[in-house]
Amino acid sequence: MTMTKEEILEAYRFRHATKEFDPSKTISDDDFEFILETGRLSPSSFSTEPWRFVVVQNEQLRNKIKNSSYGAASKLPEASHFVIILARTPLDIRYDSAYLKEQQVRDVPTEYLTRRLEILEEFQRHDFKLLDHERFLTDWAIKQTYIPLANMMTAAAQIGIDSCPIEGFDIEKMNQLLDEEGLLEDGHFTISVMIAFGYRKKEPGPKTRRPFDDVVKWVK
């Protein structure tokens, strides 16, 4: 089954950063598994998949997040589902990490794996200079998590579900909270971004964007 271009654009017009969710409406398990699957299937640089999606339905933890994040304060506890996207740290995404060596195996010949990691080292060391500072590798991983973030929000909109991406939090404080909850696995993860999902409480105002010709430039 395929969607028309107009149907796809309508989903983008429907999607907005929902500020208030209707607490009486809950996303079905089937629909939310579909949303998460679109995130899991998202592409990543060198197929590193440097992310984890933590679905927070526990009321106690939700309250801790609400009190620690000004961006989440108006979304919790009303949101039907709440997701924290974690990014893997250099412990896992440096070219010579045990995670990448294990993750890249997938029934491929040893020589292919060796060459693939050599290319990744070249990319990290010289092309993007990601090894010049530890923060660069972390930022590289965080940047990639925004691909599944966007895909999950779009997929949700296509089936009539609202969402709101959340960056309104102190990274150090949120990492401390998540570490205390045992979710960062001894420094292998760091928080990237959060997303609230549910159903809008009221209709938003008109969507505004910069003009097409200001955003798109052709070089022919």
pLDDT in tens, 6-57: 999 999 999 999 999 999 999 999 999 999 999 999 999 999 999 999 999 9
The gap from C-alpha 161 to its chain's centroid, in whole angstroms, comes to 17
Mean pLDDT (whole number) for 149-156: 98
E strand intervals along 139-204: 162-166, 189-198
pTM summary value:
0.94
User: Which pLDDT belongs to residue 112?
Assistant: 78
Q: What pLDDT score was predicted for residue 78? A: 95
Helix (H) or strand (E) holding 83: strand 81-88
Question: 17 and 153 in contact (C-beta within 8 Å)?
Answer: no
Would you say residue 105 has pLDDT above 60? no
pLDDT beyond 90 at 102: no
- CA 119 – CA 125 distance, rounded (Å): 10
What angle, 0 to 180 degrees and rounded to 10, lies between the N-to-C axes of helices 134-158 and 5-14?
110
CA distances (Å), 106 to each of 38, 47, 100, 112, 113, in order? 21, 12, 11, 11, 9
Contact criterion met (CB below 8 Å) for 93 and 100:
yes
Contact in structure between 154 and 160 (CB atoms under 8 Å): no
Query: Which helix H or strand E contains 150, and what residues bound it?
Result: helix 134-158
